Structure 1
Amino acid sequence: MKVRPAASSDCERLIRLFRQLGYVIDVGELRARLLAYDGSDSDLALVGEIGAEVVGTIVLHVVSPLHEIGKWGRISALVVDQSMRRRGIGAELLRAADGFFIGRGCTRVELTSSDLRTDAHRFYMANGYENRSKHFVKHYPNA
């Protein structure tokens, strides 16, 4: 498998992958966000590719919180196509994320996962992650 930065030509495939997690985004908005990541030292979307087919993606961010020394890595999305799971693709994407974060001086990485995704929880724990906190979300109407 090859891991590379996501390109605007990947948008249709990325949309299908994100839908497998329940996220819906319009192709124009996704292209605009990918363009905003170009040249960023703190935001990166990667894809995993087998042959010419995009089979997974991971979205990375570096944050510098005021309340702690150092920088953190944040994975905002990781998805491997349902038909391609349990083949090491997710683990390879996590290794690529580690390289990105360590290269930017991050002292830790965090992510969230729905309470319902128990297979994903086992996967993250098998890859060195700990279940350490609760995640609270507030949605704004009409925003």
Structure 2
Amino acid sequence: MQIGFVEDPAAIARSFELMSKLRPRLSREDYLAAVPRLMADGGYRLVALEEDGILRALAGIRVGEWLHTGRYLEVEDLVTAEAERSRGYGAALLRWIAEHGRRQGCRQLRLVSGVQRADAHRFYEREGMKHEARYFSMDLA
């Protein structure tokens, strides 16, 4: 099992299929344009878990900072291939991400998840995450 950052254009393109399982409304073209831009402008990083040359799990992360709590690592996207779930890939990727956050001086790992994703919420809680806030949004378009 290998875990590391996805940085080159070919690897980013290869990651689209798995990310599209989590983000089905995102076209391939938009994904391939957005990821490099987010990496350059916003500190976004893709992290992949591969085994036997197959992409098994993928995450999008970024370090942020809030006045009242300091530096944190945000998991913006986290997806494991459906056929690969319950095999420890998501847990291994989340542990790697947490350790990366510690190395970056982050005090907390955060993740926002849609209210409809009950199975994912059970996974996050099993991995030691707690439900501590409500997330509100307003469409501006």
Q: TM-score range by the shorter chain?
A: 0.7 to 0.9
1:15 — aligned with what?
16
2:91 — aligned with what?
91
Q: Deviations over 1:9-31 (max 9, x none)?
A: 23344322222224433334433
Q: Greater helix percent: which structure?
A: 2
Shift of 1:130: 0.2
Q: Deviations over 1:25-76 (max 9, x none)?
A: 33344334443466789432111111111111011111122x2252011000
1:121 and 1:63 map into 2 onto residues whose CA distance is 22
Aligned partners of 1:4 and 1:47 also within 8 Å: yes
The count of aligned residue pairs is 140
- Structure 1 unaligned regions, length at least 5: none
Q: 1:37 and 1:114, CA in 2 relative to 1: closer, same or farther beyond 3 A? A: closer
1:68 — aligned with what?
68
Partner SS for 2:94: helix
2:112 and 2:36 map into 1 onto residues whose CA distance is 25
The code of the aligned residue for 2:119 comes to: D
Identity fraction in percent = 22
Q: 1:26 and 1:88, CA in 2 relative to 1: closer, same or farther beyond 3 A? A: same
1:12 and 1:42 map into 2 onto residues whose CA distance is 19
TM-score w.r.t. the length of structure 2 is: 0.85
The code of the aligned residue for 2:31 comes to: L
More displaced stretch, 15-24 vs 29-38: 29-38
Partner SS for 2:107: strand
1:72 and 1:95 map into 2 onto residues whose CA distance is 15
1:37 and 1:5 map into 2 onto residues whose CA distance is 14
